[in-house]
Amino acid sequence: MSLSGSDFELVRRVVYDTSGIVLDPGKEYLVESRLQPLCRHENVPSIPRLVQKLREPGAQPLVTRLVDAMTTNETSFFRDVEPFEALRRHVLPALIEARRATRQLNIWYAASSTGQEPYSVSMMLDAEFPQLRGWIVNQLATDISPTVLERARAGRYSQLEVNRGLPAKYLVHYFTKVGNDWRLKDNIRKMVRFEELNLIKAWPLLPAMDIVMLRNVMIYFDTEAKKRVLSGARRVLRPDGYLFLGGAETPMNLDDSFDRQPYPRAGCYTVKATTLA
Amino acid sequence: MNALIVDDSRAMRLLLRQMLVALGFEVAEARHGREALSHLQMRPDTQIALVDWNMPEMNGLELVEAVRADETLSGVRLMMVTTETEMAHVQRALEAGADEYVMKPFSKEIIADKLALLGLSGGDAHAA
């Protein structure tokens, strides 16, 4: 049975209140396609019955699983290439020079999904920045979805996933084939800590970050949520830190405290000196 | 940019041709390694060859070794596109001089991403 107007409205409101994700009218097909597997998982016979359960007392665990089902987890290794080139050529060399006294780097991946982004950087750090051995490199990767975090921690990927964007030399060096899947070696998995974090709720106390990867998540938020998240990212960044946004994202008209860096298609920003003063 | 597809399957050549043309490449085809080697020796300005592994006359690995042994072809990038999915095969291809490796089945995005890793984006960097 398909989704009625009032049921769509309820799902839309619950998802927005919980995650900030905006489901515009016309997205009924998307909601239906994501709710059908959830019905099977919950052993509920129909979508109307599932929505009814959302109205019942004690529905919070179901709400969590609903939001989990509605989040888009599109990602790939070295997605878009250019941000990683900017990291490799400009950002990391600059930070390594700036932090040579403290020998510590803090990197936050704010919507890490199944882990390809933090693991891409981890492989790059291991392969191309031997000078960081002996440094403390804290990499925190967060996401709203406990399901994708579990997959990320496991570091196990399908053939399709390792085919997408992962250099073959890294596949050979950092993965082991297990059945039809490919498992990331422990030395790389251990470089990243995965935690649950909802960007539109109050953030836990985070250490000052040298790099914040906030890519391809704000596109799902409305203007107010985008402003709040950008403002939070600015506060958590060190004065000379770097913010990365997705290819379709910009702080323009949302937060004027960022300067775009001249690395082509990298979506790389620093905090304006005037903002710091 | 010029690309060469090397595959004994006509259907596979057609599929890859469509993807590469959409990405802005000029595309030539060869049915096996020997034909590919002849083509590359006539057209050493070819930027990328997409190479199947199992083919008659000269297989993909032998082609990679032959291209890497020919200094006039040092500018040709080589990407295996094959059903061979074992780690040992990936290792052998890289050791022989392949630049990248794609396991079948694949999508246009997978091919585009791998080409981007090699700094090759055809005539339209954002066609993918």
Over range B68-86, report the average pLDDT: 97
Across the interface, whether the CB atoms of A176 and B87 are under 8 A apart is answered: yes
- Give yes or no: residues A95 and A206 share one domain: yes
Report yes or no on A77 lying in a domain: no
Q: Which residues in chain B have their CB less than 8 angstroms from residue A168's CB?
A: 90, 93-94, 98, 100-101
Q: Which residues in chain A have their CB less than 8 angstroms from residue B87's CB?
A: 171-172, 175-177
**Global ipTM:** 0.91
pLDDT for B125 equals 41
- Give yes or no: residues A111 and A156 share one domain: yes
pLDDT for A264 equals 92
- Give yes or no: residues A36 and A118 share one domain: no
The Cα–Cα gap between A231 and A225 comes to: 10
**Is B36-83+95-102+114-121 CATH 3.40.1080.10?**
no
Report yes or no on A75 lying in a domain: no
A228: which 2 tokens?
């709040």
pLDDT for A276 equals 62
Q: What CATH number is given to the structural domain containing A27?
A: 1.10.155
Q: pLDDT 10s per residue in chain A (277 long)?
A: 578 889 999 999 999 999 999 998 888 998 999 999 999 999 999 999 999 999 998 988 999 999 989 888 889 999 999 999 999 999 999 999 999 999 999 999 999 999 999 999 999 999 999 999 999 999 999 999 999 999 999 999 999 999 999 999 999 999 999 999 999 999 999 999 999 999 999 999 999 999 999 999 999 999 999 999 999 999 999 999 999 999 999 999 999 999 999 999 999 999 998 766 5
A252 touches chain B (CB under 8 A): no
Report yes or no on A196 lying in a domain: yes
Report yes or no on A194 lying in a domain: yes
- Give yes or no: residues A87 and A59 share one domain: no
Nearest CA in chain B to A159: B103
Report yes or no on A184 lying in a domain: yes
- Reported as a pLDDT band with limits 50, 70 and 90, residue B126 is very low
- Give yes or no: residues A91 and A141 share one domain: yes
The range of the structural domain enclosing residue A235 comes to 82-276
Task: Pick the closest to residue A138 from A235, A231, A211 (CA basis).
Answer: A211
- Give yes or no: residues A90 and A197 share one domain: yes
Number of domains into which chain A is organized: 2
- Reported as a pLDDT band with limits 50, 70 and 90, residue B122 is low
Q: What CATH number is given to the structural domain containing A154?
A: 3.40.50.150
User: Chain A window 141-160: which residues touch B at a Cβ cutoff of 8 Å?
Assistant: 159-160
Across the interface, whether the CB atoms of B117 and A78 are under 8 A apart is answered: yes
Predicted confidence (pLDDT) at residue B123 exceeds the cutoff of 80: no
Out of A160, A167, A175, closest to residue B117 by CB: A167
Q: Which residues in chain A have their CB less than 8 angstroms from residue B91's CB?
A: 172
pLDDT for B127 equals 38
pLDDT for B46 equals 97
pLDDT for A74 equals 85
Report yes or no on A47 lying in a domain: yes
Q: HEC profile for chain A?
A: CCCCHHHHHHHHHHHHHHHCCCCCCCCHHHHHHHHHHHHHHHCCCCHHHHHHHHHCCCCHHHHHHHHHHHCCCCCCCCCCCHHHHHHHHHHHHHHHHHCCCCCEEEEEECCCCCCHHHHHHHHHHHHHCHHHCCCEEEEEEEECCHHHHHHHHHCEECHHHHHCCCCHHHHHHHEEEECCEEEECHHHHCCCEEEECCCCCCCCCCCCEEEEEECCCHHHCCHHHHHHHHHHHHHHEEEEEEEEECCCCCCCCCCCCEEECCCCCCCEEEECHHHHC
Across the interface, whether the CB atoms of A81 and B109 are under 8 A apart is answered: no
